[in-house]
Amino acid sequence: MKRIRLVFLCLLITQGVYSQKRTYLPDYAGSVRYTMNPVISLSAYTPTLSTREETLIKMKMESVQRALRANPELSPPNGIEVILQASLPEPPSDQDWLSLVRITLGMKIYPWFEEKGETGYQCAKCIKTVNLYFNQPEKLYQRKGLNSKGVIKDDNGLMLFPEPLKIAEQNECPVYDNGIIVVALPGNPLWVPVSVDEYNKALIRSLEFRMLQKPKLKKELTMEIARINDEIAGFTEMQLKSPAWFGDKHGAWYEATGPDSRPLVRMNPAYFDNTKARISVQLIILESDLIGQGENKSPYLTDPQHIYESEQTIKILQKMDFAGLRKFMN
């Protein structure tokens, strides 16, 4: 009987421990911390970064993080811990047309909570991330750049991608459905249309390359190429020269083919001025998985699994002065 009582008592204690829920602390005084990875003269840049360039980059990122701290939700942050970290990623091999130095400023947002009698914020599953990308144009087509056709590039190696859909505007900066907010300079557009003929030729070239890589798919890919050529055969010369659309056809079409059809575009290198100092900032892209078409046409989404930290991050985004970031562009 004593043994049964002991087991029952252990079960009660265990149940009590596991029934304790994490309690968020919205009034807890959090902080914002900033670090920058050691700036090393990256061999990917030719010539390598000079000591003066490294110093100017550090100074600019210090100024940017101070501007971010001015956000009403971060001065000071209540109920969250915010860690900012700047770094210099190496340029992708297909971006050699752009000489500008690339910088990433990541913002990690942790909720303060109490659990099992202890207070903390380190929770790998609770973290929300907001990234600011400086001079990284490929971030324009993240999440929407890769479609069922794979990576499609033109003769110059520029990515051809479905145009992101503008869903809102904040501080005169467009918000897009692929999770980004763009801070750009006036003047040349960031992307330009692609013709039906150009996209379909690039698509066929990509499929032929895949065939060489994966001979087992030769029959399937050959049939897909034949379908695309059948579509092309029905186009007029004017339709081939028309701006391309991606939709429910095998290849690009000369008009929208359904509600989810999107124009096909490519990055416009002419937007950037390579005659300026390579540490100049000419494009800023802010990215978050909470940016998207939400309820009531809101540009922000709610993550039902981690509602508290999502709501805190959305409050930060709503109060962020995106247009104010233009003062760091030149």
**In a domain? residue 163:** no
Give the per-residue pLDDT at 276: 94
CB 253 within 8 A of CB 199: no
130 and 275 belong to one structural domain: yes
Q: What pLDDT is attached to residue 95? A: 81
Same domain, 34 and 84: yes
- Flag whether 184 is in a domain: yes
Last residue of a domain, one of 225, 242, 267: 267
**Per-residue pLDDT, 6:** 46
pLDDT for the residue 147: 55
- Same-domain pairing of 240 and 279: no
Same domain, 247 and 317: no
118-120, strands of its sheet edge to edge: 23-24, 113-115, 118-120
Q: Which pLDDT score is estimated for 97?
A: 86
In this structure, the answer to whether residues 208 and 257 fall within a common structural domain is yes
For 271, phi then psi, to 5°, come to -65, -35
| Single residue among 267, 286, 313 that ends a domain in this structure | 267
Closest CA to 85 of 119, 113, 127: 127
- Phi and psi at residue 316, in whole multiples of 5°? -65, -45
If asked whether residues 317 and 226 sit together in one domain, one would say no
Claim to verify: residue 262 and residue 284 sit in the same structural domain: no
- Distance from CA of residue 316 to its chain's centroid? 17
Q: Confirm whether 76 is domain-assigned.
A: yes
User: Is the same domain home to 301 and 239?
Assistant: no
Asked, for residue 5, whether it belongs to a domain, the answer is no
**Distance between CA atoms of residues 250 and 229, nearest Å:** 9
- Omega before 47 cis (within 30°)? yes
Whether 129 maps to a domain, the answer reads yes
Please tell me whether residues 107 and 251 are part of one structural domain: no
- The tens digit of pLDDT for each residue in 100-159 reads 999 999 999 999 999 988 999 988 888 999 999 999 999 998 765 455 566 899 988 898
Residue in the block written with tokens 């910088």: 103
Q: Which of 238, 267, 296 is the last residue of a domain?
A: 267
* Weakly modelled stretches of the chain, pLDDT under 50: 1-2, 4-20, 145
Within a domain: residue 118? yes
pLDDT score at 148: 58
- Bridge partners of 264, per DSSP, are 162
Q: Are residues 60 and 183 in the same domain?
A: yes
Q: What are phi and psi of 307, to 5 degrees?
A: -60, -40
111, part of any domain: yes
Q: Is residue 156 part of a domain?
A: no
pTM: 0.88
Same domain for 129 and 224, yes or no, is no
Give me the number of domains the chain comprises. 2
The domain of 240 spans 196-267
> Residues 54, 67: one domain?
yes
